[in-house]
Amino acid sequence: MRWCEITPKNNGLWFQHQSSGFFKTLKPQSYSSLLKIRNEEGNIYLNDRLKTEKIYHQLTDQPSDMSFLYATIVGYNNMDDPMDDPMDYLGYTYYFQLDENQINECIFDIVDKKVWMKPTTGINGLNLAMSIWKENWNKFQQQEDDILGVINSRIEVIIPFDVKYFKYLPQIEDRQ
């Protein structure tokens, strides 16, 4: 497990986002776009996401018709590292960093069977999530979802803005 410590000037943290699609820039999607992407299970998925994101909208200035971009912090999740095991995730994995101003616009939470914290914004949310993770990472358990499948425990980074990534691991068909 890789641990990073945050400092205000250069936090040194790398974030990752996984997706089945290729994007030049990572962007939050509108709810109408998400409904189209999710096919026949779209309404169930979207209703669940709307319920979850109602709290996030109260914590940000994100327009009510827009969803959020989701990421995790490299080393702060129970997902296999796609750089170590490229067969674990077959889609695209994007890597990026966030500066202090961007971090202050984000919401942080821990995804796990147990509720460890309330979604919290900014540096305080990041530090709280990292502290909880460091002390309890070996207690986290993955869960099964009827629509999404296996959900691995992680620090969830909820981002209300577009992100330019530095690197990405292409989908399995494009790897050599």
Q: pLDDT tens across 57-80, in order?
A: 999 999 999 999 999 999 898 776
- Between strands 167-169 and 154-159, the pairing is unpaired
Q: Give, for 34, the enclosing helix (H) or strand (E).
A: helix 31-37
Q: What is the pLDDT of residues 105-146, one digit of tens each?
A: 999 999 998 999 999 999 999 999 999 999 998 998 878 877
Instruction: Give the whole-angstrom CA distance, residue 67 versus residue 51.
Output: 11
Q: What is the mean pLDDT of residues 32-49?
A: 76
Model's pTM, two decimal places? 0.85
Half-sphere exposure of 12 (CA within 13 A, CB side): 7
Q: 115, 99, 93: which is closest to 172 by C-alpha?
A: 93
Confidence band for 45, pLDDT divided at 50, 70 and 90: confident
